[in-house]
Structure formats: structure tokens, C-alpha cells
Structure 1
Amino acid sequence: MLLGAGCWLLGGLFAYGQTCSIISNHTNVACFGESTGTINITVTGGSEPYAFVWTGPGSFASTSQNLSGLSAGTYNVNVTGNGGSCTGTATIVIDQPAQPLTILNQPLDQTDCYGNTVEFNVTTANSSGNATYRWQSRPPGGSFSDIAGETSSALTVHDIGVNGLNIDGTEYRVIVSDDCGSVTSDPALLNINSVTGMTGRVNLTICDGGGTSYEVSTDGQVTGYQWSFNDGTGWHPISDGAAYSGTTTQQLTISNATSAETGGYRVSVTFVTLNQPPDYSTCVITTFTRNRNLTVLPPVLPPVVTADQTFCNAGTPYPLTAASASGGSGPPYSYQWQISTDNETWSDLTGERSLTYSPPLLLANTWYRLAVTDEGTLRCGTVYSYPVTITVNPLPVTSPIYHY
């Protein structure tokens, strides 16, 4: 007979309610922040049905025997048997991973020279295990897409910029996944140092004493330039001097050129790389595919005219002759005989444009020279022969002889 207050009359004796025996079985939250925990309990002692009163984190409350969809926290249950036949309490703690999967070290921007190799790396923390990696790339103006076969924490990109692949401005990111979900890294930028152009004709011919310049254009942070010259025996670095200036700058200037400057020209450009700061380094690009070839023509050679002549007063000189010109961009060449009475001021002899000139009767010292003009493609100027001097000696003065 139940007497109340949890007491029973048994065989004429009073008995208080027993303690319910509670056995629990639970599963923790699988992933941080989720509500996937469960609690199942088995009760013995007293008599059924049992009543359950649960409390938990926040305002959690339930009267069910078994619970599911639980978040992390401490859960308390009070169990009462039928009519108070037993009572019991239990406390169950539902745990969860300490933190969600996170990117600990983001991939860094990479800067290197065209054709080189770069590497992007990522490290993660708090993975629940079985982490996988999926790298993606996005060209400038495009969208991200998966890179086939790249499933590790490091992405190696070879031959950057070559054949229009992995070009300057491409972005890379990685999606890391585990049993609890995924996280996407920040995008990392690929910067490619490159030589973008070179001024000046690929093949250029100039006159002796002429000049030209070559200027290289680049994309990237440049720390130095070095121009080189190939005279047919191999490439050699050049320095500023009589013919060259700017040999360690963006623009090489060639002036007062001679045949010694005939050959090939190229430049090596040194760039800064920003692969793993603060350990910055450099890389070098040489303009193999942008070489320039310069041909300096030999000078137009002054013609050699016949030797000086000396005559007595009113003598007629022998004809003056000269050999054909050479050098420069000719033939053709044009010729012009010139005359001077003081070897300083010269004037053209009208119509005298051949290699031979016959001076007239002369009464005073006279000088002649031949001007040769390059009439070829480049018109490399005019040169003059060494003057020919025609010396006219006066007749001797005689006195009459008197006989006494």
C-alpha cells in the first residue's frame, strides 16, 4: 500500500522509494557549432512508467527519455519511477571539436620572372581528419575553375606565362574540406616579371659615324640592366665609352659608330622576386627573342688624286685623275671638282663631275680637289680628296748685257 511521500507498506512495514539506476549512452557533436549530439538512457529499479525531466544549455528542456539534435553542453536528467517507486539523477556532457576547420596560413602572392616556377602553399588547423584540397585558378577577367590533379596543400606552377598559360594577374585559391565542411582560402596573385618590348629595328644599317639607340620596356620591379654585344665570337657585356652610353640603363645609345660596333645587341634585366617575404631575391631575363643586329658601313674613302705639279709662268697642267670611290652605301657616287686660290675657300667647277679634270692655262698657284658624295640608299655624306697643288713659278728676270 502507498502511504505517500515515497513510502510503501510492505508486510506491515514501511519502505521508502528506491534509487533509480540510470545507464546513459551518448554521442558528441561531430563538428564545431553543429547540433548532432544524442543521449540514450536505460533505467532500472522501481516500476514503470518512468518520468523524465531534462535541463540543458540555455533554456533547453525536455521530458523525453532519449534526446537527439543536441548542441554541445551539460545535460541533467531527473528520473522518477511510477508513483515515486524510485528516483534518480544523471549528468551527461556533450562535447564538440574545439574549433572549426580554419586556414592557418593563407597562400601568398608570388612574383617571379617569365618562364620560371612558383609555389603556393596553405596550412590548416582544427581539421577533423581526412582533409582534402582542391586548387582553383582565375585568369584576369575570368572566373575560378578547378586545376586538374592539384589535390595537396602545395600548388606548383611551372613555366609561368609561357604559351599564354598562368599569365600575369592570374589568381589562385584552394578549397580545403574535411568531414565537417569546407573553407576557402583567400586568393593569391601571380605577378610575372617580363620584358614587354624593345625599340629599334631588328636589323639596322647605318653610316660610319652614325648612331642609334635601343630601349627595353618591362613589367615588374627592375633593379638593374646590362647590355651585351656579340661581334661573332660570343656575347660580351659592354660598358660606357667612346661609342656606348647607358650600358647599364633601360636605354642603350650608340654614337660615332664604326665597323667595330657591327654585331648583335641584347639586354639582361634583373627583377625583384617576392616569393616568400621577407626573403626577397632576384631573377634575370635576357632578351634572347628581341635581339637587335646593327651593321655599320665602312666610311666613304677620300679619292686619291694625281700628284702635285709645278710649272713655269703660263704653263698648262697635266690632267688630274682620281680613282673610283668606295665605302658608304654606294655606289652610286657623284663627283664634283673644286678650285681654290688660297687652299681655304673652295668653289665648284661647273660641269666638272667626272673622275678626270684638265686644268686650263694657269698664271698663279692654284689648288684643286675632288668631292665625292655617297648617293646610295643611306647617303653617307661627302668626302674630299687631299688637295692637289699646282705651283706656277714666274719666269726668271734677266738684265741686258752691255758691251763697251
Structure 2
Amino acid sequence: MNRIYLDHAATTPIHPNVIAEMTRAMGEYYGNPSSIHSFGRLAHEQLELARQVVADSLQVDPHEIIFTSGGTESDNMAIIETAFSRQNEGRHLITTAIEHPAVMQTMKYLETQNFEVTYLPVDEKGNISLADFDYALREETTLVSIMFGNNEIGNLLPIKEIGERLREHPAYFHSDAVQAYGNQEIRPHELGIDLLSVSAHKLNGPKGVGFLFKSDKIKLPSLFHGGEQEEKRRPGTENLAGILGMKKAIERLTIEKQKENNQQYLEYKKQILSFLDEEKIAYKVNGDPSNSLAHIMNLHLVGVPNNLLLMKLDLKNIAVSTGSACTAGAVDPSHVLEAIYGKGDSAVTESIRISFGWGVTHQQIKTFCQGLVTSIKK
């Protein structure tokens, strides 16, 4: 059975080298990293080696890396800790209308706790306006949370420009980089980012592990209590096998490899659009192709209900999606596309997300294109 997986923005297959590393870790490093005997010291050494690899990938200090269960926990930790610890300085927060649910729902929760949140709108290409940001920023703004790259349409947000604006402002700057890390060169200190969230399962690593970068420049009390682990910020015995799996996944993604991958993904996009043009399929690319993550494309296939199309493709053993995996099973339309087009627009229910990653080939893209066109014409 030839199965084609084009939903890498939702999660990625674990690379064999990562599986091998995790298997080795579970067999060899079973000591508690906090124990003082030789088994514990060996595990602790491996833990800190992994922390160094993560830190080097961002060019930050190792103690600025906090291991977590993934992007959602990291987002919640950064946003909630900042909001409550700084509420006496101000209760105003800024984010965008196209954030991942891990940020959006956390902001909605804070609104029930008497915080005021400004959701920056986007234009017809899914981009925010820096003028809107400048207008929204206040003296009492304590946190700005803006994603590095969007998980549905792929748009890159103006992180550098916002970081520059916040250098002389007391607000902390958080960025959800779950989709961008491993595809973009990210240097938090250079960009003025104080907090950054990452998840391993988006880069061919294991599920249930990730990290939060927290700059030494900011102070945050911990939400959790009970142990000394992770700079006292996340007490509890570390998931060492998962962390070492993430380390192996990160080691694969050198800057050169990222560039090579992105070039390949851009070729896949051209291949798909050329096929649709040849078959005279009516479509529109959602988002801004000139300012996008290479591995994500979102297409409005005019007149084609996306729920029906996904089922037809699934029957052909082809996996794509309609948006964020965190809304799987929900009947709600994409809030990202609604932010671009407005509620009730046909694009919201006629769009699919195609996302590439390790293991995808030109032949698979060709087979996908044939299956897509056949399904649309039927």
C-alpha cells in the first residue's frame, strides 16, 4: 500500500536515528538525573549534553533552556507566568488573531481573569501591520506573544521588527516557534525574544517533549513547586529518553540541511501549482507565498468542500488537513482563515493545508496531484 503523508505541520514521523537513540537511552541511562550516585551522574551528564545541543542551535546559554512536554506547555508557562507575575505593572497583553490554539486559548483564559488582550488583525494575505502593533502597544503592556511562523498558512511574522520596537519597552516578548524551529535560523538574543516555545515532534523527534527558552534578562516565578529540576521551574524527573531523542533530531538539522530541505519543499510547491494549472483547477494560495515557511502551503480549491475532499484523499491513502491538529475532531472552521477572509467566506470551508517533511519525494507529490485532481473532478 502506497501511503502518502503530507501533514507534517501536524506532526512528523520519528526518524530512525532518533528511535535508535531513545532505545539506547532507555537501556543505558535509567538512573535519575537528580541522584548523586554514578547511575544518576551518568544520566545527568547526558541531560546537560542535550541542553547544550539545544542551546547551541539558538546560540543561547544552556541554563536558558527549560525542558517541557512540548509547545503547548511552553506557551502556557511563558504567557501565564508573565501575566500573573507582572499584573501589578499592567494587565494588557498583545497577540495576533492567527495564533495557535495553545496561545489563543491561554489568552482567552486570561481575559476571564481581568486581563485585556489586543488581537492584532491580519490583511488579505495573512500579514499583521506594524502600524497596528505600534498603536496597540501601551505603557501598561507587559507581554507581547507573536508566533514566528503560522501553522496553517505558513506566514512568517515580523519578529525582528517587533523585537526592535520592544528593546526600549518593558514588555516581555514571547514567540511560539513550534512550526519555524528546524526550518528557520532563529537567534533569540539577536531578535530581542525573551521567551520561545518549541516542540520536538515537529522535527522528526518524539511526542511529549519540547523546551522553553527563557532569557536571563527577564525574571519569572515558577508556576510549579516540588523539586529543583530545570532551574526550579519544572520540578519532576526529566523525560531523559525523550530529551535525548529531541537532541538527536536537532543534530540532524544543521543550517545547511535546513536550507537544502527548504529548497526541496519550494520545488514541491511549484510542482503542485503547475499540475493544478495544467488541469485548469480553480484555486488560490492562502497566505503570503513570498513571506512563508517553505514546508507549508494552504490552498483554496474553489467550489470544493474541504471535509469531503479530505475523505476522498484519505480513501486514496493520502493525508492532508484543513488546519491545526489541535482542533482535530472539532466542527469549528479555521480561525486563521476567518481572520483573513471573514466568517462565512467560502475559502474557510474550501481550503486544505499541505505540509512537507522528511520522507516526501517528487513521485509522492505527483501521485498526490493526480489523486487531488481526480477527487476534485469527481
* TM norm structure 1: 0.18
**Structure label with greater radius of gyration:** 1
Kindly indicate whether structure 1 or structure 2 has the higher relative contact order, using CA contacts under 8 Å at least 6 residues apart.
2
The structure carrying a bigger helix percent of its residues is: 2
